[in-house]
Amino acid sequence: MKKEYEFLRSIPNDPGNLIKGLQLLQSSCGYISVDGIRAAAEYFGRPEADVEGVVSFYAQFKRVKPGRYQISVCDGTACHLKGAPLIHEWLHQELGLKPGETAEDGVFSLETVACLGCCSLAPVMSVNGKVHGKLDRKTMMKILKEYAAK
C-alpha cells in the first residue's frame, strides 16, 4: 500500500469496514481517487471492481476533487417547495456550475443534498458544513461574496 494511505490502518481491515474506510479516505483526501480505490481494495482484501461498485452506489462518495468551498444546496421537500430550484438557477448564473461540478479556479463546487434537518429555515444551503437558512437572492449573493473573498 502506498505510504499516503497508511492512515487506513487506523481501522480494522475486515471487509465489512470498507464503507468506513472509504469515508476516512474521503475525509482525508477530499475525494476518492483511482489510487484511493486501489489502496482500499488492497487493505480490505476486496476486488477493485467491488470497491468501485460500493463507491458508485453511495451518493456520499465523490470521484472528483471538490473546490475549496463545497456548496451543498438542500433539495429536500421543504426546501424544494420554498425555492431550491431558484437557488440552483441563481448559482448557475453566478458561478456557471451545475450540481456535481467544481469551478475551474477550484474555489467553489456545487452539490445537491437531501434534507439537512433545518426545514424550518427553508430554503437552506450549507457551505463546508455551515448552514445558511432563509435564503433569497440577496443573502445568497452576499454569502458567495464573503467566501470568495476569504
> Which positions touch ligand FES (CB under 6 A)?
74, 76-79, 115-119, 122, 124
From the list ligand FES, another protein, none, pick the one residue 148 interacts with, judged by a Cβ distance below 5 to 8 Å according to partner type. none
Question: Which lies closer to another protein via its Cβ, residue 29 or residue 86?
Answer: 86
Contact yes or no for 94/54 (Cβ under 8 A): no
From the list ligand FES, another protein, none, pick the one residue 35 interacts with, judged by a Cβ distance below 5 to 8 Å according to partner type. none
21 is written with which cell numbers?
A: 474506510
User: What's the CA angle centered on 146, arms 140 and 150, to 5 degrees?
Assistant: 145
Q: Does 60 bind another protein (CB under 8 A)?
A: yes
Q: What letter does residue 123 receive in the DSSP assignment? A: S
Question: Which lies closer to another protein via its Cβ, residue 104 or residue 129?
Answer: 129
From the list ligand FES, another protein, none, pick the one residue 82 interacts with, judged by a Cβ distance below 5 to 8 Å according to partner type. another protein
24 is written with which cell numbers?
A: 476516512
Question: Which lies closer to another protein via its Cβ, residue 37 or residue 124?
Answer: 124
- Nearest residue to 18 (alpha-carbon basis) of 62, 55, 70: 55
Instruction: Tell me how far, at minimum, the Cβ of 99 lies from another protein, in Å.
Output: 12
Site for another protein in 104-143 (CB under 8 A): 113-122, 124, 129, 131-133, 136-138
- SS3 state of residue 127: strand
56 is written with which cell numbers?
A: 458508485
Question: What number of chain residues touch another protein (CB under 8 A)?
Answer: 47
Question: Which lies closer to another protein via its Cβ, residue 107 or residue 119?
Answer: 119
Cis amide bond preceding 15, omega within 30: no
**Cα first-last separation, the chain:** 37
